[in-house]
Amino acid sequence: MDKRIYKINKLLTDYSLGRFDGRLELSENLDDIDAFINGVNMLGEELKDTTISRDYFFNILNSVSDMVFVCDRHGRIEEINQAGCTQLECVKDAIIGSHLDDLQDQAQPSLWQSLYLPLKSGKESVLLDNMLFTHTGKRIPVHMYACYLTNDQKKKSAILVTAKDITLQIESENMLLRAIIDTQEKERQRLAQDLHDSLGQQISAIKFYISATADTIEDQNNKEILVKSNEALVKVLADMRNICFNLMPKTLEEFGLLKAIDELCNQPAYAGKISFHIASSPQFPALKQYIEIDIFRVVQEFVNNALQHGGATRIWMKFHHFKSHVRIVLKDNGKGFHYSEERVFPGRGLQNAQSRIKSHNGELKIKSIPGNGTEYQLAIPIIH
Ligand SMILES: Nc1ncnc2c1ncn2[C@@H]1O[C@H](COP(=O)(O)OP(=O)(O)O)[C@@H](O)[C@H]1O
Ligand SMILES: [Mg+2]
């Protein structure tokens, strides 16, 4: 047999082992075997080029610090980079072939659908924030991006998904919000205390003088004026107590959240306008005071909005207690409104309520549709 056949055979074996540098020289005959050798040499060049570009691609992929996934059209993960494996605390083989939705909370609507459907209907790219779960169950808040990958023929072949861990960003945003809220609360506390201790004491003193004088006065006209003044002052004091309560409920400090909510619902301003239906798990726990103040503020906002905007006549509040968190559901029978997280409202009430709950790593879901009332669902982890 022609010796060149052996050489070709050896060269192809090298290629199959990933060694693409070998080439064979053509003989002087330039016969059929030389034509074959020429083809094999060209194959070697081609294999070398593709391997270099493939290695180049994987080097880039693995040097990106965000998680990068390549998914097929059904959401199956075909490729993942090193950062993805490290952050999801999982080896590559265990992730390849699994579904993108396997990385999220199973109770949530499909993450894959939220990314893929807009692309399918013509959007160039999709951005969204989500929560991913690592192999050991750790939660990672991420900023996600998805777009189509196109092949050489410009055909959309797969979907590229990236996920950036935003834990630190969220923590610093929360710290900033917390600082703003705390300053606001301190200012309210100072104002409530000043009102109560200074104005309140002085009005009480005036009231005492007036009623003492009224008792001694003979003239009926003057007496009546003083009695009326006294009644007006009783009202001023009651109004001031309500203002102080709204600024900073003392009941909350002394007797806790549920008692303060009870007092809120029994405020004269709501009497005859709205009826409250409150239910709570037995032994609803005492939470840290700064968390209770925030929950109280959200309930206050809910009640005010229900009355002011919703024209509600009934409000239901449920306080549930679980091992790791508390869950509070507030509902009104008002006229409802179009709520969506993307919509920016002119007022700050809803936004502040969201910030307050987020700053405790909690979640506030607002559900409202016109004609169907409004519902807030709060979930806040319990810190021991
Ligand atoms: N319970 C509710 N029923 C009907 N509409 C509501 C309710 N809560 C909020 N809204 C609507 O959402 C808007 C934003 O509310 P909010 O952020 O509390 O601001 P503000 O109360 O200062 O207007 C309101 O102006 C109102 O249109
Ligand atoms: Mg409001």
Q: Give pLDDT tens digits for 226-275.
A: 999 999 999 999 999 889 988 988 899 899 999 999 999 999 889 999 99
Encode 316-329: b = buried (16+ Cβ within 10 Å), e = exposed.
Answer: bbebeeeeeebbbb
- Cα–Cα distance for residue pair 254/246, rounded to 1 Å: 15
Residue range 121-128: mean pLDDT, rounded = 95
Q: What is the DSSP letter of 284?
A: P
Q: Give the torsion through C-alpha atoms of 113, 117, 118, 119, to 10 deg.
A: 110
Predicted local confidence at residue 342, as pLDDT = 62
**Ligand 1 centroid vs 305 CA: distance in angstroms?**
5
Predicted local confidence at residue 329, as pLDDT = 98
Other CB atoms within a 10 A radius of the CB of residue 179 amount to 11
CATH number for the domain whose boundaries are 252-384: 3.30.565.10
**Residue 137 Ramachandran class (φ > 0 left, ψ -120 to 50 alpha, else beta):** left
Output the CA–CA distances (angstroms, integers) from residue 75 to 57, 78, 99, 160, in the order listed: 22, 9, 6, 10
The percentage of residues in the chain with a pLDDT greater than 90, rounded to a whole number, is: 63
CB 260, CB 293: distance < 8 Å: no
Q: Is 347 in the pocket of ligand 1 (CB under 6 A)?
A: yes
CB 298, CB 374: distance < 8 Å: no
Residue 208 binned pLDDT confidence (cut-offs 50, 70, 90): very high
- Cα–Cα distance for residue pair 52/56, rounded to 1 Å: 6
Query: pLDDT tens across 148-204, in order?
Result: 998 767 788 899 999 999 999 988 887 887 788 889 889 998 998 888 888 889 999
CB 199, CB 177: distance < 8 Å: no
- Cα–Cα distance for residue pair 104/113, rounded to 1 Å: 12
The protein residue with its alpha carbon nearest to ligand 1, atom 9, reads 305
Q: Is 280 helix (H, G, I), strand (E, B) or coil?
A: strand
- Cα–Cα distance for residue pair 272/263, rounded to 1 Å: 15
Model confidence, pTM: 0.61
For a mutational test of ligand 1's pocket, the pick from 299, 316, 317, 337, i.e. the residue with the most ligand atoms closer than 8 A to its C-beta, is 337
Q: Is 345 in the pocket of ligand 1 (CB under 6 A)?
A: yes
Encode 117-137: b = buried (16+ Cβ within 10 Å), e = exposed.
Answer: ebbeeeeeebeeebebbeeee
CB 302, CB 376: distance < 8 Å: yes
Residue partners of 95: CB distance under 8 A and separation at least 6: 77, 80, 84, 85, 88
Q: Is 337 in the pocket of ligand 1 (CB under 6 A)?
A: yes
Closest ligand, as measured to the CA of 345: 1
**Ligand 1 centroid vs 335 CA: distance in angstroms?**
11
Q: Is 84 in the pocket of ligand 1 (CB under 6 A)?
A: no
CATH number 3.30.450.20 given to 64-165: yes
Q: Is 332 in the pocket of ligand 1 (CB under 6 A)?
A: yes
Q: Is 307 in the pocket of ligand 1 (CB under 6 A)?
A: no
Q: Is 309 in the pocket of ligand 1 (CB under 6 A)?
A: yes
The environment of the single-atom ion ligand 2, i.e. residues with CB closer than 5 A, is: 305, 349
As a whole number, the mean pLDDT across the chain is: 91
User: Which range has the worst mean pLDDT, 50-59, 128-137, 338-347, 361-370?
Assistant: 338-347
